[in-house]
């Protein structure tokens, strides 16, 4: 992302320039003062994405976007799926999660996997939309690279010979499951 300082103290100019250059302004939970954890108790990506949006919408009554993502490994019958971020336990680190996965695939030839993201856009209780993005690929033999987060160091996208952890954020942001879901959102809004 490009950070640019606007050298103007004119609020009208700020609004017009923000509008054209950057029509969507994303407010973070920190900015709005929400510091709790949201429990993700559903067993689908859509369900968890909805829980996150609903929790925030109920409090702030403003449009909310949320993302629930996970890694589906074919040999493991689509595990870890919605449990990806807590595969190795409730407070597992990224590294603990992907090491458990590598262990479970030890000596297994079938390394097919895909990343899934579901974006939920919650404008109001009567106007909720979902956007899904997928990225197919395979699980590497060992972690490589330090970019990204989660399972990125062990996931090799189809057509590449490097993990998401090795690819630049520019490339990841063009091809990733999250980018694909967000592009669908962009087409509609």
Q: Report, as residue numbers or ranges, the catalytic residues.
A: 68
Cα–Cα distance, 56 to 119 (Å, whole number) = 15
Cα–Cα distance, 16 to 8 (Å, whole number) = 12
Among 58, 93, 158, 189, binds its own copies (CB under 8 A): 189
Q: Which stretch binds its own copies (CB under 8 A): 100-108, 135-143, 158-166, 167-175?
A: 167-175
Pair of tokens at residue 124: 């109001």
H or E element, residue 81: strand 79-81
Q: Is 84 in the site for its own copies (CB under 8 A)?
A: no
Q: Which stretch binds its own copies (CB under 8 A): 49-57, 76-84, 136-144, 155-163?
A: 49-57
Site string for its own copies, 96-125 (x = CB under 8 A): -------------------------x----
**Least distance (Å) from its own copies to the CB of residue 153?**
13
Query: What residues pair up with 119 in beta bridges, in sequence order?
Result: 67, 131
């Amino acid at each position: 992302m490009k950070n640019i300082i606007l050298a103007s103290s004119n609020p009208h100019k700020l609004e017009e320039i923000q509008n054209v250059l950057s029509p969507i302004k994303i407010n973070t939970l920190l900015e709005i003062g929400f510091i709790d954890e949201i429990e993700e108790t559903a067993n689908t990506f859509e369900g968890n994405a909805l829980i996150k949006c609903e929790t925030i919408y109920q409090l702030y009554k403003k449009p909310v976007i949320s993302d629930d993502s996970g890694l589906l490994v074919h040999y493991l019958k689509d595990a870890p799926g919605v449990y990806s971020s807590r595969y190795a336990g409730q407070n597992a680190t990224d590294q603990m999660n992907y090491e458990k996965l590598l262990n479970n695939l030890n000596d297994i030839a079938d390394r097919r996997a895909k990343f899934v993201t579901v974006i939920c856009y919650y404008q109001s209780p009567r106007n909720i939309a979902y956007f899904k993005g997928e990225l197919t690929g395979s699980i590497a033999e060992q972690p490589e690279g330090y970019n990204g987060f989660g399972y990125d160091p062990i996931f090799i996208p189809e057509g590449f010979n490097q993990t998401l952890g090795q690819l630049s954020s520019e490339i990841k942001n063009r091809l990733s499951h999250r980018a694909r879901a967000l592009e669908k959102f962009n087409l509609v809004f």
